[in-house]
Amino acid sequence: MWSLLLLLMSLIAVLKTEELIQGGKTHQTSEYEDGGVTYGSNRAIDGNLETCAHSLKQSNSWWNIDLLGLYEISEIIIYDVDQPNFDMSDSFIYIGNSTETNGLANSRCTKITNFNKGKKNTFKCDEGSMLGRYVTIYSKGNRVLILCEVWINGTRKADPGLMLIKENKTWVDALSYCRTLNMHLAYISDIEVQAKAAFESTQSNSPFVWLGLRYTCTLDFWFWINGHSLDYTNWSTHTEKECDMSAAMETTGDHLWYSKPDNETFNFFCTE
């Protein structure tokens, strides 16, 4: 009896935290125009089933959305009007945290099959729920991509407690600043914290933000100054190993980590 009750309570908790993700910034390959109307990407999330995003006829069309936050995405629902001039077969859904190649560098969620026009079609990722900020719908072949409405259900991930300081300081001065707040320079423990830091870094006013990761040339290894082990990394392939170097995350693109001389000045993250 108690085990059944606990199971029901856990299911209710999941249902309460999962939600329809509202808003976001959308883009698409191209925009079809007719009679003075532009069929832009935002029409796929405007809540109106009769207004559709519509690309031009071309090879490898895509539509994507920046959810403006990190979500564990459970399903994507797509509705299209019943028209004979387009086909959703051989289309794919991608989810992840990269903007490279318009989101196509992210992991594949699933292939769109058995699509019924004029109805809501629900798609779940082949490997279960996926973590990401960007969702891309990609259509192969030389054709139009039409999306009348896209709904995305998921759970927003908790804020890892990052504080962006929009002041340009050297790495040592940034470290001292965080310590005056009884905090550390940012520690990136996993992909969830990386995604949150990447999102927050877009609000900075410098090309990089300092992390609490430093290189010791004496012992030849990188270490987090708060003492945590280096279990997760997101290094660029152009990472140097020299004395007086620390790690900084780029604030655009794929938010890769680079080694930078300590005397350069950037914004930075403090964390508890």
What's the pLDDT tens digit per position in 185-223? 999 999 889 988 998 898 899 999 999 999 998 999 999
The Cα–Cα gap between 39 and 93 comes to 21
pLDDT of amino acid 11: 44
Instruction: Grade residue 158 by pLDDT with cuts at 50, 70 and 90.
Output: low
**SS3 readout for the chain:** CHHHHHHHHHHHHHHHHCEECCCCEEEECCCEEECCEEECHHHHHCCCCCCCEECCCEEEEEEEEEEEEEEEEEEEEEECCCCCCCCCCCEEEEEECCCHHHHCCCEEEEEECCCCCCCEEEECCCCCCEEEEEEEEEEEEEECCEECEEEEEEEECCCCCEEEEEEEECHHHHHHHHHHCCCEECCCCCHHHHHHHHHHHCCCCCCEEEEEEEEECCCCEEEECCCCCCCCCCECCCCCCCCCEEEEEECCCCCCEEEEECCCCEEEEEEC
Contact 190, 198 (CB under 8 A): no
Instruction: Grade residue 13 by pLDDT with cuts at 50, 70 and 90.
Output: very low
pLDDT of amino acid 105: 87
Residue partners of 127: CB distance under 8 A and separation at least 6: none
Query: Mean pLDDT of all residues in the chain?
Result: 90
Percent of the chain's residues with pLDDT above 90: 71
Average pLDDT score over residue span 155-178: 90
Q: Please check the confidence at residue 4 and state whether its pLDDT lies above 70.
A: no
From the centroid of its chain, how far is CA 237? 21
Residue type, 197: A
pLDDT of amino acid 250: 96
User: Considering only 15-19, 181-185, 213-217, 260-264, which range has the smallest mean pLDDT?
Assistant: 15-19
User: pLDDT (tens digit, 9 = 90+) per residue, 56-67?
Assistant: 999 999 999 999
CA distances from 93 to 61, 75, 188 (A): 12, 11, 28
pLDDT of amino acid 69: 82
Write down the pTM of the prediction: 0.71
Average pLDDT score over residue span 12-26: 73
Percent of the chain's residues with pLDDT above 70: 92
Residue type, 55: S
Q: Please check the confidence at residue 156 and state whether its pLDDT lies above 90.
A: no
The residue with greater pLDDT, 73 or 68, is 73
Taking residue 7's Cβ as centre, other Cβ atoms within 10 Å add up to 10
Q: Please check the confidence at residue 47 and state whether its pLDDT lies above 50.
A: yes
Contact 25, 67 (CB under 8 A): no
Domains of the chain: 18-156 (2.60.120.260), 162-271 (3.10.100.10)
> Counting every residue, how long is the chain?
272
User: pLDDT (tens digit, 9 = 90+) per residue, 99-145?
Assistant: 888 889 899 999 999 999 999 999 999 999 999 989 999 998 899 99
From the centroid of its chain, how far is CA 233? 17
Contact 178, 172 (CB under 8 A): no
